[in-house]
């Protein structure tokens, strides 16, 4: 007779690494090799660990948490607190053991680590290269809605100069939502000369990679930064010569090694982390695009066009946040806006659309960006389509997540056209995304878009089925009533930033939510946030590089000569 048991705490503290092991308990003297000979499981002679969560009445696997081995460690994140029930299961030797897990809030907030992802918010399958986007995902506990400052640095690679000559490339801010904050950085090919110039002969990554790293720190806390691991970037134009003039440099935060002593006995907030990025010394080229004679670009997705000499098309039609997109993406945004509002308005509307996508994708402009409302509704994409909205425009939630930016813009256009004649202000534009029934009221500053104080026909929903509640939550007046607590972005009053117990209609329970009891979200509040946080800052992010759509004019070839 034998059994399995999991050894480890059932009440882990969020952000703390916990160790779990599997114990084999036997009441007989049967040899171990016979105990393990059980063909009833595909996990025979293996030990595999899984975490399951109770999601809307059904158990599902929490992907990304699978582990193997007799002894493993788990660090539960902030998002684990939202699950009513969790279970840890281990499969070993044809048997399994299970314990209930109830994560506990951390007594002190901290940054756990910085994860570096590709532009599709996935673990990269190839080395980063110049021309790529890097998504720095900062994982935190007990720091909800705090701003986090993320900086991309170029590492000089020399051990003796590591803390004095690293150059700050770019600094950005992200807001912590559901335990994570995502910040996107573009690996500009123009930075290759800088990394090359700073390499000294004999440096470790001199031949193939450049090293960058990302640091993360919480605003208005201690001054320490949280760095990432270095990322090496390939440089096609590497030259070993060192420039005569010194490179401007900025003192970076302490390295990860130096920050091990941050969490002292006083248990102060650990708000710093760093992550290295290895970037290959070459410019990434899309394998699906082939250039013919340097004059024609052919794309397998039928997005082709001749290159032209002369003025840059992108600069002629510059719009807010345009430096965050590729040439094809910029042109697609202009095309969509021209199709909806006409050529004369396309630039202005493009700026407004970019501000909305900046808000909805949490500043990433990613077509695969996912979001979940407080009531559990899933959203995805550039303007956060729900499954219901996706179906109404002829696609699916899953299909949208697999599309490129250019492909998804087709459905953005299809959706926005529905109320185009009523969109007289930027708020009307955004209302089409979050509450289409109010489009046209964007010039009424006191109009309540969301109002928690109103009543709904079925009260708190206790006598309404789950299926019907899921339908109601996307209808009026439920949208108006429950939209307030689900949109903390627009809570600008001081008292609204406090957590209070609120009744959650779809989940039939009380949860901690921001906002005042019976609170409202007005047109003015939406307008203030949209303009000041997502629209106006885009004016400083105009495209100013070399357009992919332009080639230099060739000099005429003299008589008797021919091009090679």
Question: What is the per-residue pLDDT for 250?
Answer: 42
* pLDDT surpassing 90 at residue 320: yes
* Measured CA distances, 240 to 206, 243, 264 (Å): 9, 10, 43
Question: Is 286 within 8 Å of 217 (Cβ atoms)?
Answer: no
Mean pLDDT of 64-93: 86
Question: What is the per-residue pLDDT for 284?
Answer: 60
| Calpha distance 19→319 (Å, rounded) | 52
Q: Which residue has the higher pLDDT, 118 or 283?
A: 118
Question: What is the per-residue pLDDT for 271?
Answer: 75
| pLDDT tens digits, 87-104 | 999 988 778 899 999 988
| pLDDT tens digits, 438-482 | 999 999 999 999 999 999 999 999 999 998 998 898 889 999 999
* pLDDT surpassing 90 at residue 411: yes
Q: Which residue has the higher pLDDT, 167 or 255?
A: 167
What tokens appear for 38 in the block? 């059980």
Question: What is the per-residue pLDDT for 546?
Answer: 66
Question: What is the per-residue pLDDT for 279?
Answer: 83
Question: What is the per-residue pLDDT for 385?
Answer: 94
| pLDDT tens digits, 209-243 | 888 889 988 864 433 445 555 555 555 544 444 44
Question: Is 13 within 8 Å of 103 (Cβ atoms)?
Answer: yes
Model confidence, pTM: 0.47
What tokens appear for 194 in the block? 């800088």
* Stretch among 17-26, 75-84, 175-184, 396-405 having the lowest mean pLDDT: 17-26
Confidence of residue 106 (pLDDT cuts 50, 70, 90): confident
* Coil, helix or strand at residue 32: helix
How many alpha carbons lie under 13 Å from residue 331 in its C-beta half-sphere? 12
Question: What is the per-residue pLDDT for 235?
Answer: 54
Mean pLDDT of 399-422: 93
Question: What is the per-residue pLDDT for 292?
Answer: 35
| pLDDT tens digits, 129-167 | 888 889 999 988 877 777 888 999 887 654 433 344 567
The mean pLDDT value of the chain amounts to 76
Q: Which residue has the higher pLDDT, 503 or 155?
A: 503
* pLDDT surpassing 70 at residue 306: no
Mean pLDDT of 329-339: 93
Q: Domains of the chain, with CATH numbers?
A: 2-101 (2.60.40), 110-283 (2.60.40.1930)
| Calpha distance 531→550 (Å, rounded) | 33
Confidence of residue 311 (pLDDT cuts 50, 70, 90): low
Which residues neighbour 151 within 8 Å (Cβ) at sequence distance 6 or greater? 168, 169, 170, 171, 172, 214, 215, 216, 225
* pLDDT surpassing 80 at residue 107: no
Question: What is the per-residue pLDDT for 153?
Answer: 87
Confidence of residue 375 (pLDDT cuts 50, 70, 90): low
Mean pLDDT of 4-13: 88
Question: What is the per-residue pLDDT for 268?
Answer: 45
| Calpha distance 470→482 (Å, rounded) | 12
CB atoms within 10 A of CB 260: 9
| pLDDT tens digits, 189-210 | 877 766 665 445 444 445 578 8
What tokens appear for 69 in the block? 């081995």
Question: What is the per-residue pLDDT for 554?
Answer: 40
Q: What percent of the chain has pLDDT over 90?
A: 32
Which residue matches tokens 């199709």? 339
Which residue matches tokens 């009424």? 444
Question: What is the per-residue pLDDT for 197?
Answer: 54
Question: What is the per-residue pLDDT for 374?
Answer: 62
Concatenating the DSSP letter of every residue in 242-272 gives PPSSPPP--PPPPPTTGGGGSS-TT---B-E
When mean pLDDT is compared over 39-43, 312-316, 397-401, the highest value belongs to: 397-401
Confidence of residue 270 (pLDDT cuts 50, 70, 90): low
Confidence of residue 383 (pLDDT cuts 50, 70, 90): very high
| Calpha distance 497→485 (Å, rounded) | 11
| pLDDT tens digits, 524-538 | 999 999 999 999 999
């Amino acid at each position: 007779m034998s059994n399995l048991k999991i050894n480890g705490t059932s009440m882990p503290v969020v952000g703390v690494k916990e160790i779990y092991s599997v114990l084999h308990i036997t009441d007989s003297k049967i040899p171990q090799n016979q105990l393990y000979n059980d063909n009833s499981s595909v996990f025979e002679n293996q030990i595999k660990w899984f975490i399951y969560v109770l999601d809307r009445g059904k158990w599902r696997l929490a992907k990304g948490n699978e582990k193997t081995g007799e002894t493993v460690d788990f660090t539960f994140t902030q998002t684990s607190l939202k699950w009513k029930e969790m279970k840890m299961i281990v499969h070993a030797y044809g048997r399994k053991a299970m314990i209930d897990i109830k994560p506990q809030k951390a007594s002190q907030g901290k940054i756990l680590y910085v994860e570096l992802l590709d532009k599709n918010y996935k673990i990269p399958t190839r080395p980063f290269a110049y021309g790529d986007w890097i998504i720095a995902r900062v994982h935190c506990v007990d720091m909800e809605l705090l701003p986090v400052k993320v900086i991309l640095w170029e590492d000089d690679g020399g051990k003796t100069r590591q803390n004095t000559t690293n150059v700050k490339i770019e600094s950005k801010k992200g807001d912590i939502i559901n335990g994570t904050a995502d910040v996107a950085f573009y690996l500009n090919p123009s930075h290759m000369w800088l990394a090359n110039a700073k390499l000294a002969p004999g440096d470790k990554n001199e031949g193939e990679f450049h090293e960058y790293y990302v640091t993360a720190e919480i605003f208005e806390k201690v001054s320490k930064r949280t760095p990432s691991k270095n990322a090496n970037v390939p440089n096609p134009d590497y030259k070993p010569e060192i420039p005569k003039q010194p490179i401007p440099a900025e003192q970076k935060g302490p390295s990860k090694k130096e920050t091990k002593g941050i969490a002292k006995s006083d248990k102060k907030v650990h708000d710093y982390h760093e992550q290295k990025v290895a970037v290959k010394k070459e410019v990434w080229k899309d394998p699906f695009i082939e250039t013919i004679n340097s004059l024609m670009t052919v794309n397998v997705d039928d997005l082709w066009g001749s290159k032209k000499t002369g003025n840059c098309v992108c600069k002629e039609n510059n719009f807010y946040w345009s430096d965050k997109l590729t040439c094809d993406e910029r042109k697609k945004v202009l095309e969509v806006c021209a199709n909806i509002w006409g050529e004369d308005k396309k630039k202005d509307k493009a700026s407004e659309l970019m501000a909305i996508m900046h808000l909805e994708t949490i500043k990433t402009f990613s077509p695969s960006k996912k979001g979940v409302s407080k009531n559990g509704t899933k959203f995805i994409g550039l303007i956060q389509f729900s499954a219901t909205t996706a179906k109404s425009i002829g696609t699916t939630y899953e299909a949208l997540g697999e599309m490129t930016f250019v492909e998804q813009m087709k459905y953005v256009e299809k959706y926005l056209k529905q109320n185009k004649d009523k969109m007289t202000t930027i708020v009307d534009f955004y209302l089409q995304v979050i509450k289409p029934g109010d489009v046209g009221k964007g010039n009424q500053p006191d109009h309540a878009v969301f109002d928690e104080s109103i009543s709904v026909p079925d009260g708190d929903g206790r006598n309404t089925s789950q299926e019907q509640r899921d339908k109601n939550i996307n209808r009026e007046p439920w949208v108006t009533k429950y939209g307030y607590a689900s949109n903390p972005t627009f809570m600008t009053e001081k008292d609204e930033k406090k957590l209070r117990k609120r009744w959650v209609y779809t989940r039939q329970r009380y949860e901690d939510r921001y906002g005042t009891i019976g609170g409202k979200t007005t047109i003015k509040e939406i307008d203030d946030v949209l303009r000041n946080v997502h629209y106006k800052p885009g004016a400083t992010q105009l495209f100013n590089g070399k357009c992919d759509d332009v080639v230099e004019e060739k000099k005429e070839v003299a008589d008797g000569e021919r091009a090679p």
